Structure 1
Amino acid sequence: MNSKTVGVIGAGAWGTGFAQALARGGHKVELWALESEVVDSINNEHENKKFLPGFKLSENITASSDIEKVATKKDFLILASPSLYLASTVKKLVTIPNIADGDTFIGVLTKGFVPTKKGAKLCLETIENVLPGIYKGNTVYISGPSHAEEVAMGKLTGLIAASENPKNTIIFRELMRVPGIVAYSSLDVVGVQVCAAVKNVIAIVYGICDAISQDSDTFGDNSESLLLAAGLNEIQQLGFAMGATHAETFTSIAGVGDLDVTCKSKYGRNRRFGQDIINKNILSKFKNLDDLIARVNEVGYLPEGAIACKYVYEISERLGLKLVICDGLYKILNCEIEPEDFLRDLLRLKKRVKK
């Protein structure tokens, strides 16, 4: 594919890392950032010191705090806003001529569920209800085991482009044909999105288990693998209940691949949050899960799984599902049960973990 112009809406770690990968492949990328210091850092020092420090960014990357400028006259637009703000961000784009006319291809990096008055929705459903009708069934969801730091370094990473429109999955796959990225296509838009959202929930529980296992005669590596496998089963159960179409989605990089790296990588914010629940008693400053979500900036980083957990709980209740791990984390974050008690009950143990 020849060099393309790309706007990335959201200059967090993942948006910046993805922009760096595209720029490495010769594409011209403009990032939108809400924070003026991020814009200045990228434009003047070629580094996102706030969200992706330590990585020299390509000369092909510029930044702006003008969202309309970033989205205007672009071949591709990539949405990388946090799930809480995705819908409100997209509403700012709909009148831009190349968006209003459907001339720009739109992809989504955001992982999680989007809160609406009618309950939690998946990302593509949410933005397609806001965008001009021409985008219905034509937006693309991008996911896979892809920590921003390694993507920025150019380390080999696999990504999946999922859409109801098979032609658009190929178009995005070609866009991502850059050094360090191996891209695949999928038509299972629901399954891929559910995997991307719920793996963050499982990763928090994995982090809790990992922290407890450091001083435990009960939990260890075997326990964590047991938890990962059980978590994947819950992701698959919810995925099919919501309309996933392909079983192989959950055994692909979108499913087990992304879950594995999110649970185990040193870069994982959700795993870190789970560890901080045990090691730093980070939940003590919050009254319940709603308070945590309202004040999530006080955590110092964004654990998307904590937000997704609320919506997984609501969806599973609505669909009549019993998701033991996800439900347990909801009660932990809602300050209803203790993490150690939950893990012991989950594995039907009688012996307490060492203090």
Structure 2
Amino acid sequence: MSKVAVIGAGSWGSVLANILVMNGHKVYIWSRRKEQVDELNKQHTNRHYLANFTYDKRLVASVELEKVLDDATMVLFAIPTKAMRTVTADVASILNAKGLKPTIVHASKGLELGTHKRISEIIGEEIAEENREGIVALSGPSHAEEVAKRDITLVTAASTELKSAKNVQRMFMNNYFRVYTNTDIIGVELGAAFKNIIALGAGALHGLGYGDDAKAALMTRGLAEIARLGIALGADPMTFIGLSGVGDLIVTCTSVHSRNWRAGDQLGRGEELQNVIENMGMVIEGLSTTKAAYELALQKKIDMPITTAIYQVLYEGKNIKRAISDLMQREGRSE
């Protein structure tokens, strides 16, 4: 039996922790909030994130990071991108003090504001090589709400070290959660981050009352520009037609479970951005990722008209209908 430390007790982190427990592993999950920890340990629920789900009683929650990490052979991060560097640094100091060398996995999707770094890069900078047995990104078309119901879900474990990816695959796989391996961690992380931008746009189209044709067009052309930027940043083009590319794009752009889609939908209906952020109750990764992708596209001189339009709506106050009209009236070109 392996001990896994899960850092972050939101919907996705807690559901992944539950999978691991049910697969026979010893799992401790960390949260800053004592009331959340008490609820998980006593009621075996996490109602703020998953209202009608009961967790396996063997899952142990704690506010003590050191206790959660003690003797862990795997550490799984499932926290917002903006908290990743600070929390990873705290984990690193404990791993170093205890002389631990676990496999490091993350299931977060975003880019660091300012540096534009991928999450595996942040982890690599904060956790020394002597305290980690590879870094793996776990990503793909997956909603916690559906995994909790044991719906069939397929994801990718990506790492430059295939042995580490295969270890993650072995620990997570069961009869409803299937894991593939991939060595293109750049493409997997970028696809996971950038699709949230397009999901904001898909939600906005729905909120404005547009139909399936418009949504299909947005997703198709959105994937094209995601791939352009990803390839410029070192990704394998084929990754964008896989689970962490088109797969994650489809599920995030078509599901009410997606907070990015829901945020876009509210914006399309005329809600103010600040109200959308305050009412969501969870981090909307696509907002910061749009800014990072827009800045990267300028830096790399990559044409990303959809991303630019969404950036202008979010950060420059451009009217959504005007942004759509300007996109449609761009000069004609070949596909």
| TM-score, length basis structure 1 | 0.88
Instruction: Tell whether 2:203 aligns with 1:207.
Output: yes
The residue aligned with 2:257 is 267
Distance 1:259 1:49, change over 3 A: same
1:343 maps to which residue? 324
In structure 2, the partner of 1:93 is 91
What residue in structure 1 maps to residue 76 of structure 2? Answer: 78
Distance 1:183-1:190 versus aligned 2 partners, 3 A rule? same
Q: Counterparts of 2:119 and 2:182 in 1: how far apart (Å)?
A: 16
Partner of 2:333: none
The residue number in structure 2 matching 1:53 is 51
Q: Does the CA-based 8 Å contact 1:107-1:140 persist in structure 2?
A: yes
The question of whether the paired residues in 2 share the 8 Å contact of 1:122 and 1:193 is answered with yes
Work out whether residues 169 and 181 of structure 2, in 8 Å CA contact, stay in contact via their aligned partners in 1: yes
The DSSP-based 3-state class of the residue aligned with 2:208 is: helix
Q: Does 1:323 align with 2:323?
A: no
* 1:145–1:262 CA contact under 8 A, matched in 2: yes
- Which of residues 136, 143, 163 in structure 2 aligns to 1:140? 136
Query: Residue 140 of structure 1: SS of its match in structure 2?
Result: strand
The Cα offsets for residues 146-200 of structure 1, whole Å up to 9 and x where unpaired, read as: 1011111111111101011011111111011223211100010100000000001
Match of 1:227 in 2: 218
Q: What does 1:152-301 align with in structure 2 at a 5 Å threshold?
A: 152-213=148-209, 219-244=210-235, 246-283=236-273, 285=274, 296-297=277-278, 299-301=280-282
CA separation in 2, counterparts of 1:114 and 1:66?
A: 26
**In structure 1, what residue type is equivalent to 2:260?**
N
- Please tell me whether residue 34 in structure 1 is matched to residue 32 in structure 2: yes
CA contact 2:30–2:61 (8 Å) conserved in 1: yes
Share of identical aligned residues, percent?
Answer: 32
Aligned to 2:241, the other structure's residue is in SS state coil
Shift of 1:75: 1.5
Q: Give the paired residue count.
A: 330
1:123 maps to what in 2?
119
* Cα distance in 1, alignment partners of residues 97 and 79 from structure 2: 17
Secondary structure, counterpart of 1:301 in structure 2 = coil
Output the CA distance in 2 between the equivalents of 1:4 and 1:168. Answer: 14
Question: Alignment partner of 2:173: what SS?
Answer: coil
Structure 1 residues 307-348: Cα deviation after superposition (integer angstroms, max 9, x where no partner): 111111111111111211111111101143111111122122
Could you tell me whether the CA contact under 8 Å between 1:109 and 1:142 is conserved in 2?
yes
Tell me: CA distance 1:4–1:137, structure 2 relative to 1, closer, same or farther (3 Å): closer
Structure 1, residues 125-165: CA drift from partner, whole Å, max 9, x if none?
A: 11101101236892001100010111111111111010110
Cα gap change, 1:98/1:341 in structure 2, threshold over 3 Å: closer, same or farther? same
SS in structure 1 at match of 2:244: helix
Structure 2 vs 1, CA of residues 136 and 248 (structure 1 numbering), >3 Å: closer, same or farther?
farther
TM-score when normalising by structure 2? 0.93
Structure 1 unaligned regions, length at least 5: 214-218, 287-291, 350-355
Distance 1:137 1:58, change over 3 A: closer
Structure 1 residue 93, shift from structure 2 partner: 1.1
User: What 5-or-longer segments of structure 2 have no aligned partner?
Assistant: 331-335
